[in-house]
Amino acid sequence: MEEEVINYELRLYIAGKTAKSVTALANLKKYCEEHLKGQYTIEVIDLLVKPQLAEGDQIFAIPTLVRKVPEPIRKIIGDLSNEEKVLVGLNIRPR
C-alpha cells in the first residue's frame, strides 16, 4: 500500500520542561514507535527559547503537536494522553 510509505513530519511545541510537555513527548514517541515505525521525524520546539516561532504555526496552547506532512496541517493540543484521539487526529487510523 502506498499510504504506508508516507513520511510523517511532526512538530511538538513545548514551553520548557513541564510535566505536560514531558508526558506529551513520551506519549508521542510511544505511539509513533507503535504505528509509524521508521517513517516519522519529530521536531521538538521549545518556545521559551524560540518564541518567534509561535506565530508561524498559530500556536496558542501548550503542548501542541503539529502534523506538517502529510497535508493538510493538523493540530493536536494537550498531553496526548488519549491514544485513540491522537491516532485519529494524525489520521493514522481512520475515524
Partner 1 sequence: MTKSQKKQQLNIKMLPKTPTGISGLDEITDGGLPMGRPTLICGEAGCGKTLMSLEFIVRGATTYNEPGVFMAFEEKAEELAMNVASLGFDLQKLQEQNKVRLDHVHIDRSEIEETGEYDLEGLFIRLGYAIDSIGAKRVVLDTLENLFSGLSNQTILRAELRRLFGFLKDKGVTAIITGERGEGTSLTRQGLEEYVSDCVILLDHRVINQISTRRLRVVKYRGSQHGTNEYPFLIDEDGISVLPVTSLRLEKDVSSERIPSGIPALDEMLGGHGFFKGSSVLVSGTAGTGKTSIAAYFANETCSQKKKCMYFAFEESPNQIIRNMQSINVNLKQYVDNGLLKFHASRPTLYGLEMHLVSIYKLIKQFRPDAVILDPITNLITVGSVSEVKSMLVRLIDFLQEEQITVMFTALSLNTIVSEQTDEGVSSLVDAWLLVRDIEANGERNRGMYIMKSRGMKHSNQVREFIITDKGLDLVDVYLGPEGVLTGSAREAQKLKEKTGVALRDFALSRKDKEIMRKRKMLEAKISNLQAEFESTEEELNKIYIEEDLKQQIIEKNRDEITKMRRGFEPETKIRRKK
Size of the site for partner 1 (CB under 8 A): 33
* Phi and psi angles of residue 64, each rounded to the nearest 5 degrees, phi first: -125, 130
Residue 51 in contact with partner 1, rule: CB under 8 A = yes
Q: Which is nearer to partner 1, 2 or 9 (CB)?
A: 9
- C-alpha triplet 32, 38, 40: angle, nearest 5°: 55
CB 11 within 8 A of CB 68: yes
Among 24, 25, 32, 92, binds partner 1 (CB under 8 A): 24
Residue 10 in contact with partner 1, rule: CB under 8 A = no
Residue 79 in contact with partner 1, rule: CB under 8 A = yes
